[in-house]
Structure 1
Amino acid sequence: MIELLLLAPEDIVETVSDALSFELDALSVSVEDADADTSSERALFGEPGMPAPRPGWQRSVLRALFQNEEEATEAATLLLAQDWASDVHVQSMSRVEDQDWVRLTQSQFTPVDITSTFWIVPSWHETPAEAQTVIRLDPGLAFGTGTHPTTRMCLRWIARQADALSAQWSRVLDYGCGSGILAIGAALHGGKNIDAVDIDPAAVESSIANAKANGVELRAGLPEAASGEYPLVLANILATPLKLLAPLLCGHLEGGGHLVLAGILERQADELKEAYAPWVQLEVSDSEDGWILMTARKATAT
């Protein structure tokens, strides 16, 4: 296998990447900051689920893999012949040893402890000895593998509250379910009649498959599948959609029920409190790495 390294300026990184991937038949393309580990390095991150603030770094290195040297040479020649590619430069072309890419990818995902006894474990790993409750979950198309602080905080809340509250969880709504991880976590901790809904059909399929793999029952569907009121409503999305969804989520929350929201940065707490104030009083219940978990209990009708 041959690795072609190219240097490209910020404004054409996406164009170069697309050309390599879709027109020049690269097996894979990755993009890195050419100034990483120098004084010129700069961060390029947006909030999860949102686009990055810029299309690329000021100078980016593109690593493209090809099956053989002939294909890599032809790709470089065709690319550099384009008028718009005058600022693209070939840095190197070298042979890379074949690897077990599946095993390499799997090695990046290890068991995640939610509490000392509640773990998220990929299917290829042994269950840790201390794990009493386990969600088997592999990386997939839908968001939610247990590695992000927002997911961990939601699951931690479920696990810690289950002894006192699970008897009340006769219905559970996981709104924006992604992989279905929160719905599965609720089911494993005593929740019943669980609805997991998402606007993405891939998330619905993922939730169904993951529930089956974990031996739990839930109903997964598009948002219109949610109906009536629930004593527990979970939503791990992002602050902006959570604000817009305030009337809907609170409308699904029964009197005395608990609302659990995540995907919120610490600086966004007051915005969420204000958005939900007509229905419930949100409070910060947990925090991790700049993210917060906000929860509320809806008053019972008098």
Structure 2
Amino acid sequence: MFELVLFAPEALVEPVSDALMNELEALSVSVEDADADTASERALFGEPGMPPPRAGWQHSTLKALFANEAEATDAATLLLAQDWAAAVQVQALQPVAEQDWVRLTQSQFAPVQITERFWIVPSWHQPPAEAKEVIRLDPGLAFGTGTHPTTRMCLRWIARLAPQRAACWQRVLDYGCGSGILAIGAALHGAQGVDAVDIDPAAVDATRANAQANGVSLSAGLPELAQGAYPLVLANILATPLKLLAPLLCDHLAPGGDLVLAGILERQADELKAAYAPWCTLRVSDCEDGWILMTARRADGRST
């Protein structure tokens, strides 16, 4: 396998990537900030459903993989022969060492501690001796492996509140379920009638597979699966969709029910409080690495 490394200005990143993948038949193309770790580095931020603030970095490094040196050389020659690609520069053409990609990927995912007793453990690891409650979850196509602070905070809340609340969680809604990790966590802690929904069919499939692997019963489907009121509503998405979903999520929240929201940065707390104010009073219940967990109880319950 050979890697072709190119330098391109912002305006050419997309056309060069398209040419590499579609016309020049690269096996894969990755794009990195060429100014990373320098004074010129500029971070890009965005949220699903919202237009990106910029199409890309001012200067980008593109890395394209090819099956052999001849294909990589031909791709570079053909690309640089195009008038529109005059600003593109070849930085390297180099062999890529063979690696055990499965083992390398697995090495990046170690068991994740949620509480002293509660852990997320990939299938290729043995649970730690102190792990009394375990979710078996492998990286997949859907978001939610327990490595992100938002997921950990949601699971931590479930584990800590379950002894007092689980008897009331006769129906649970995990909205935007991703891998299904929150729905599975709730079921393992005594919740019943768990519905996990997502707009992505791949997430629905992942949730069903992960639930089966963990021996829990739940229903997974597209958003129309969610019907009626739930004593526990979980949503780990991002701030913008959470604001838009406020009427829908609160309509699904039973009187006295618990609402748990994540995917929110500390600076976004007031925006979320305002969005949900007509139905409940949100408060910050946990924080980690700049992210916060916000919770509330519906009208006839007290805040958590």
- Counterpart CA distance in 2 for 1:10 and 1:138 is 35
Offset from partner CA, 1:175-201 (integer Å, 9 cap, x none) = 111111100000011101101111111
1:217 aligns with 2:222: no
Q: Deviations over 1:117-176 (max 9, x none)?
A: 211112222212211111111111111111111111111100010111111111111111
Residue-by-residue CA offset, 1:198-250 (whole Å, 9 max, x unaligned) = 11111111111110111101001111111111111111111222122222211
How far off its partner does 1:45 sit? Answer: 3.8
* More off after superposition, 56-65 vs 3-12: 56-65
Name the counterpart of 1:177. Answer: 177
Q: Which moved more, 1:81-90 or 1:28-37?
A: 28-37
- Cross-structure match for 1:280: 280
The alignment's TM-score, normalised by the length of structure 1, stands at 0.94
Q: Corresponding residue for 2:76?
A: 76
Q: Partner of 2:197 in structure 1?
A: 197
1:106-145 map, 5 Å: 106-145=106-145
How far has the Cα of 1:49 moved from its partner? 7.7
Residue matched to 1:290: 290
Whether the 8 Å contact between 2:196 and 2:220 is mirrored in structure 1 is yes
TM-fit CA distance, 1:20: 1.3
2: distance between equivalents of 1:235 and 1:145? 15
| Deviation per residue, 1:32-88 (Å, 9 max, x gap) | 222233332332343578665333222211111211111011111111122211111
Q: Determine if contact 2:47/2:240 at 8 Å carries over to the other structure.
A: no
Q: Distance in 1 between matches of 2:23 and 2:114?
A: 44
- Hey, what's the Cα distance between the residues in 1 that align with 2:256 and 2:48? 31
Aligned to 1:238: 238
Q: State how far apart, in whole Å, the 1-side matches of 2:128 and 2:54 are.
A: 41
Q: 1:181, 1:49 → 2: CA distance? A: 23
Q: Does residue 5 of structure 1 match 2:21?
A: no
Structure 1: runs of 5 or more not aligned: none
The corresponding residue for 1:34 is: 34
Aligned residues: 301
Q: Which residue matches 2:89?
A: 89
Amino acid at match of 1:8: A
Match of 2:229 in 1: 229
Match of 1:61 in 2: 61
Q: Distance in 2 between matches of 1:41 and 1:70?
A: 34
Q: How far, CA to CA, are the matches of 1:249 and 1:45 in structure 2?
A: 26
Tell me which residue corresponds to 1:259. Answer: 259
Please tell me the residue identity of whatever aligns with 2:299. Answer: A
Q: Which digits, 9 at most, give the CA deviation of each residue in 1:3-47, with x for residues without a partner?
A: 111111111112212221222121222222222333323323435
What TM-score do you get using the length of structure 2 for normalisation? 0.94
Q: Structure 2 stretches of 5 or more lacking a match?
A: none
Identity %: 77
